[in-house]
Amino acid sequence: MKHRGISGVALMAAVALLATAPAQAGVSRVDGGIEFTFDHPSAGSVSLAGDFNSWNMNAEPLTQDEDGVWRVVVDLGPGEYGYKFVVNGSEWVADPENPRVVGDFGNSGITINDDGDLVSEEDADPISNTSVNSRVQLNGWYRATYDWQASVPSDPRWRLNRPAHEFYIAVNPTVTSMASGNATVRLSTGAGDIKEISADIYSGHLTLEGGLFSVTGFYNEERLQYDNPLETVGHIDLDGTIPEEHIPFGRGAQGIMIDTEFWDFTLDAAYANIYDYYIMNDPSVYDNTGTDLLAARLKRTVGPVTLGATYTSRRDGWWIGFEGTNTSPHIDEYLASGPDSLSSWFELSNTETWIGFDADIPVVSDLLYAKAEYSLYSYDSLFDVANKAKIEGEDYSNGAIDVPVGNMDGWAATGVLESSPLPYLDLRLQVTKAAIDSMSPGEQYVAFGSPYWLAIPEGEFTEVTGTSSPLSVNVFGQAPERDELEFKFDADFGFGIFDAGFEYDRADFEWRYHEEVEGSFGSFDTWKERISRLSVTGGADVAERIRVGFATELLSGYYDVDYLKDASRLETILTADVGFWQDWNVLLDIRSISYTDIPRLAQSTPDSIHFDDDGFLAPYVALVYSPRENIEVRVGYGVDPTNYVDTPVEGRGDGRGRWLSNYLWNHSDHDVLDAEKALADAKTIGVMAVITF
């Protein structure tokens, strides 16, 4: 038997679903009564049965129009009615576009008032779009991408990269009004043999609601964002976008959320395991990081003021082997002084905790609002479990230990002012101050990434989570004392066909080390740095199918040291979306970026740092054909600014940033200017086709 590849299987499945599942239906008031519509082009017959015709499947036959939509108008008086469509004389189907379900048989329901108008179900979504079940909704998408590249490293020829095919299908059951969920399965081509297929549960959730509580278990879904001013949960910023793309917490995580109300309080609590901490990096490296999130937010409104308290804790747990090259003075001291002389693997536990209190105050009703939060911060690092610390029967097993590694304490405070002085103008000002104490002599900061404060690794633990794991963690010295001040101002304007945004951010850092630090920039015991960001965006719908836009960002770094110059980056993106004929559009996305006084560390020594200025242009142009809202074919030249890897169906606007990150990942001896030059020189022709259903 001949086996089809993923592209054939996925495309056939997508077409079958599109052909068999009704794509659209609905109810509306028209002249003569209430019109019922049902989009099912392949049906042989459709009729309407309900309370109004004693459920007679032959009483109200529908007529199919030239677009394949079945229609019928029924004169109905005020009241409540249940109904279903009968397809091909035997299939009883609830209205996929009507979210209201009545009775014990999953019938669709409508209410008509005394004026003959339909009473709308506000904020309700359809719970079914398939004849399979009146409480199940099926949707998803199939995507195929093909890229031809030339002048890639070591190969000047045009070559076709391995095509990528992805097929997502989501099942959304609404069991009752108190139980609903989602499960999305993904099939995709692998990196090995051309017939290789990988399958996984891409995302999902289950929500149970009853009484005072709502409980949701989730997997890899963006769904958690606390509204405390410090935003200790949520808002992950993706690199490479102007302005940054924000996504709520949940991607690369799985856990449970509980929401409840009692005594005029609202409580939102969450526990989650972050299995893929850096979701935009290589998943083969940043997988199973073992980070747990425990968070809770309590709020109550007292008069015009809303008071809140937030607890957030992130705990990293990594098993590290000490049978090979890994060494630690803390473990050496423990093994030398303690009874646990047989243990060779230890879990390193790093815990960061915030406990904050906040208030939301309407200063001038409907005009000016103020928010403020004060939060205590702590960091605690220790080896807390050993693999042979406890005897169970005749064997050793994991047991609790207490080997301190490092500890820090501090605080953070933020204040926010928000105002809408005009209907088309929104203003926001935020100021945040933080102060963190330093570690004591002999303590260490250990993390699988690099801390945002300037630090040079002193070593590395390589056997992490397993001897064959590619994950490694860096060992730094004593963390410095840190003072930080951050200022943000945002303005958003929208009037008529125009919209614009303005953002200015400034962050001042001062880090004081106990002893002189030797690094790539030389020796220092105090480091002062100021990062400024100015972003201006705008756009206009100049015609019905023509939109133009621009975005520019100036990012500057200022350093209070003699041997390092002030560096800056100016990036500008011009865009246009022009519909020129029926279902055809042209997309333009031109990116220009220039760097000033960028240190070239790969070409320098601490005694002689080399600085460069350079500029690059990376255009992208695409022809887009979209005959229906759920179908798009795009042919483009240049690196696509939209990234489609492991994203929602519309992708994410960090395609160039992802390209640069991958380049630096694969060329460890190159720096950012090398990556920018490679992006500007990249010759890429891409074809992307997607079908959603």
Cβ neighbours of residue 211 closer than 8 Å, sequence gap 6 or more: none
Say if residues 478 and 467 touch (Cβ distance below 8 Å): no
Burial group, residue 479, by CB count within 10 angstroms (0-12, 13-18, 19+): buried
Residue 119 has pLDDT above 90, yes or no: no
Q: What is the DSSP string of 335-351?
A: HHHSS--S--EEEEEEE
Residue 633 has pLDDT above 70, yes or no: yes
| Range in 168-177, 513-522, 549-558 with the lowest mean pLDDT | 513-522
Q: Measured between alpha carbons, how far is 497 from 241 in angstroms, rounded to an integer?
A: 23
Domains annotated on the chain, with CATH: 22-127 (2.60.40.10)
pLDDT value, residue 84: 92
When pLDDT is averaged across residues 129-153 and rounded to a whole number, the result is 82
| Range in 364-378, 388-402, 490-504, 527-541 with the lowest mean pLDDT | 388-402
Say if residues 228 and 297 touch (Cβ distance below 8 Å): yes
Give pLDDT tens digits for 566-609: 899 999 999 999 999 989 999 999 999 999 988 876 554 555 67
Paired strand residues for 446: 475
| Range in 60-69, 104-113, 260-269 with the lowest mean pLDDT | 104-113
Place of tokens 């017959």: 45
Say if residues 253 and 220 touch (Cβ distance below 8 Å): yes
pLDDT value, residue 283: 45
Name the region of 33 (left: φ>0; alpha: ψ -120 to 50; beta: rest): left
| Range in 20-34, 251-265, 592-606 with the lowest mean pLDDT | 20-34
pLDDT value, residue 349: 94
Residue from 96, 88, 56 nearest 74 by CA:
56
Q: Measured between alpha carbons, how far is 523 from 209 in angstroms, rounded to an integer?
A: 59
Query: Mean pLDDT score of the chain, rounded to an integer?
Result: 86
Residue 7 has pLDDT above 80, yes or no: no
Compute the C-alpha angle 678/684/689, nearest 5°: 140
With a pLDDT cut of 70, the percent of the chain lying above it is: 89
Say if residues 676 and 659 touch (Cβ distance below 8 Å): no
Residue 380 has pLDDT above 90, yes or no: yes
pLDDT band at 20 (very low <50, low <70, confident <90, very high): very low
Residue 146 has pLDDT above 70, yes or no: yes
Q: What is the DSSP string of 408-431?
A: EEEEEEEEEEEEEEETTEEEEEEE
The torsion angle over the Cα atoms of residues 287, 289, 292 and 297, rounded to 10 degrees, is -70
Residue 319 neighbours by CB distance under 10 Å: 17
pLDDT band at 348 (very low <50, low <70, confident <90, very high): very high
Residue 187 has pLDDT above 80, yes or no: yes
pLDDT value, residue 1: 31
Say if residues 571 and 536 touch (Cβ distance below 8 Å): no
Q: What is the DSSP letter of 653?
A: S
Q: Measured between alpha carbons, how far is 537 from 502 in angstroms, rounded to an integer?
A: 7
Q: Measured between alpha carbons, how far is 69 from 18 in angstroms, rounded to an integer?
A: 14
pLDDT band at 282 (very low <50, low <70, confident <90, very high): low
Query: In the Cβ-directed half-sphere of 666, how many Cα atoms lie within 13 Å?
Result: 9
Residue 269 has pLDDT above 50, yes or no: yes
Residue 337 neighbours by CB distance under 10 Å: 8
When pLDDT is averaged across residues 249-265 and rounded to a whole number, the result is 92
Give pLDDT tens digits for 416-472: 999 999 989 999 999 999 999 999 988 999 987 788 887 778 888 888 887 777 778
Burial group, residue 502, by CB count within 10 angstroms (0-12, 13-18, 19+): middle
Residue 295 neighbours by CB distance under 10 Å: 23
Give pLDDT tens digits for 196-244: 888 889 999 999 998 889 999 999 999 899 999 999 998 877 777 887 8
pLDDT value, residue 452: 81
